[in-house]
Chains A and B, each alone.
Chain A
Amino acid sequence: MKAYDAIVIGSSAGGMYALKNLIQGLKPGFRIPLIIVQHLSPHSDNYLAHFLDQLGILRVKEADERESIKPGHAYIAPPNFHLLIENDHTFSLTVEEKVNYARPSIDVLFETAAGVFRDRLIGIILTGANHDGANGIKSIRSFGGFTIAQNPATAESDIMPKAAIATGKIDKIWDINEISGFLNSLSNT
């Protein structure tokens, strides 16, 4: 089976519980790093990282600038910063203008991750009420990566997964438990 180096995930409205369910469905000791952009208010603290960390399945933390991406970890983009991936598999943060009215923007993460991890990257779009992430999905596919959208019928908000699907570049449309199941099948714990 094909090996993957990283999984990037974009979520917005309703994302907190979608992320919780996804991570809860993973086997303890899941190895492939998750890198997550969840749209949040610019003034929010790092509650989301704590909340997901407490599930006890992965070490979940806010991504720090220049930090190296490590297996068994999930990283959340800090509120009010864009999160970018460098060639040496470290994070960069920027405060440039919002993209798709969002900072952090899913497209910014996905596009920079695509160029670095190429065909060893999985991109996942979950629930959300905007179009962020659709361009990122196109980038991931253009580098040979694998793309998944949450089933709009079971997403709390279907606009974002529908926009991703409308690009024609989504490989699989799945419910959250199917996504977790697929990821488990990839990771050698």
Chain B
Amino acid sequence: MNTSENQDIDDSILQLELELLLEALVRQYGYDFRNYNKAHVKRRLLYRMQQLGLKSLSELQHHILHQSSTLAMILKDLSINVTEMYRDPSFYLSLRKEVIPLLRTYPYLRIWHAGCATGEEVYSFAILLKEEGLYDRSQIYATDFNTEVLDTAKKGIYPVSKIKEYTFNYQAAGGKNSFSDYYTARYDAARFDPELRKNIVFASHNLVTDSVFAETHLIICRNVLIYFDRSLQNKVLNLFNDSLIMGGFLGLGSKENIMFSTVQDQFLILNPNEKLFRKKIMK
């Protein structure tokens, strides 16, 4: 057998091991990564396999099934919790200018941050709502399927080393005050004002397997759909459509879209660059 045939066999075995491992995760633990982008999932799992000094994904699967510490690690590897405050300041600027004036017309607001990771995005928007005088009439749901990151989000404490960048972003996002009004710095930790948390509920929610949040006025779900294949993106966009009131708003990440999905006709494009959409009002 020549090397290229050998490689074909290795490849198909790897593919099989990958599918079996994902099957094990969903059957044993209910975490369904089968419709996540394969290149991403494979890369992260192979990386973990090497870090643990294992020789195959089958070995890694054995560890996942028999050691709960490995499961936690894998969830972290696959979920990618990288985030920041006011990521893409222009998105927040456009929320402020194009969405806030319309949200003002409602007596109360239900807002859902889906895939909020460690919460930086949630506090960013809470500050914006405060400055626009809408915070007190808002109920904010901040969800993620990774409970470890939600624990960090609940604390609202972030490294002081990031504050310089966040201050810059806050200003670029149209911030009205001094950013330092919103946190107290102690040693290397910046603790955000607990008042900001008053109307926020942090909760575990899996977009693949859990159900709708009814009667939502605004859903912000950024940099989560990029990890999903088209069919799963479509499913989650339907979930969002079902959760929004008529005339409700949807904000996605800069590289995400609804324009391929079965709900595209239900929405108007509010800002194509910032990926802001509004659910149509249908009689």
Chain A residues with a Cβ under 8 A of chain B: 64-66, 78, 81, 84-87, 92-97, 108, 111-112, 115-116, 118-119, 143-144
Most A CB within 10 A of own CB, among B3, B43, B82, B230: B43
Which among B34-42, B128-136, B149-157, B189-197 touches the partner chain?
A: B34-42
19 additional A-B residue pairs with CB within 8 Å, beyond A112-B43, A115-B42, A144-B4? A65-B226, A66-B229, A66-B260, A81-B226, A84-B37, A84-B40, A84-B43, A86-B38, A92-B37, A92-B226, A94-B80, A95-B82, A95-B226, A96-B82, A108-B43, A111-B43, A115-B11, A116-B39, A119-B4
In the complex, what distance in Å separates the CA atom of A64 from the CA atom of B43?
A: 20
Tell whether B167 is near chain A: CB-to-CB under 8 Å.
Answer: no
Most A CB within 10 A of own CB, among B11, B40, B82: B40
Tell whether B223 is near chain A: CB-to-CB under 8 Å.
Answer: yes
* CB-contact partner of A84 in B4, B11, B39, B255, under 8 A: B39
Contacts of B80 in A (CB 8 A): 94-96
Tell whether B7 is near chain A: CB-to-CB under 8 Å.
Answer: yes
Tell whether B227 is near chain A: CB-to-CB under 8 Å.
Answer: yes
In the complex, what distance in Å separates the CA atom of A143 from the CA atom of B11?
A: 11
In the complex, what distance in Å separates the CA atom of A65 from the CA atom of B82?
A: 18
Tell whether B256 is near chain A: CB-to-CB under 8 Å.
Answer: yes
Most B CB within 10 A of own CB, among A94, A97, A118, A143: A94
In the complex, what distance in Å separates the CA atom of A111 from the CA atom of B11?
A: 14
Taken residue by residue from 1 to 36, chain B's Cβ proximity to chain A (1 for < 8 Å, 0 otherwise) reads as: 001100100010000000000000000000000000
Chain B residues with a Cβ under 8 A of chain A: 3-4, 7, 11, 37-40, 42-44, 80, 82, 223, 226-227, 229-230, 255-256, 260
Contacts of A144 in B (CB 8 A): 3-4, 7
In the complex, what distance in Å separates the CA atom of A78 from the CA atom of B223?
A: 14
* CB-contact partner of B230 in A66, A78, A119, A143, under 8 A: A66
Most A CB within 10 A of own CB, among B37, B80, B230, B255: B255
Q: Is the CB of B255 within 8 A of A87?
A: no
Contacts of B11 in A (CB 8 A): 115
Q: Nearest residue in A to B260 (C-beta to C-beta)?
A: A66
B249 to chain A, nearest CB (A): 22
Contacts of B42 in A (CB 8 A): 115
Contacts of B44 in A (CB 8 A): 96
A92 to chain B, nearest CB (A): 4
Q: Is the CB of B226 within 8 A of A94?
A: yes
Given A65-B255, A144-B3, A93 and B226 contact (CB-CB distance below 8 Å): yes
* CB-contact partner of B255 in A64, A111, A119, under 8 A: A64
Q: Is the CB of B255 within 8 A of A85?
A: no
Q: Is the CB of B226 within 8 A of A87?
A: no
Contacts of A85 in B (CB 8 A): 39
Q: Is the CB of B43 within 8 A of A143?
A: no
In the complex, what distance in Å separates the CA atom of A78 from the CA atom of B88?
A: 14
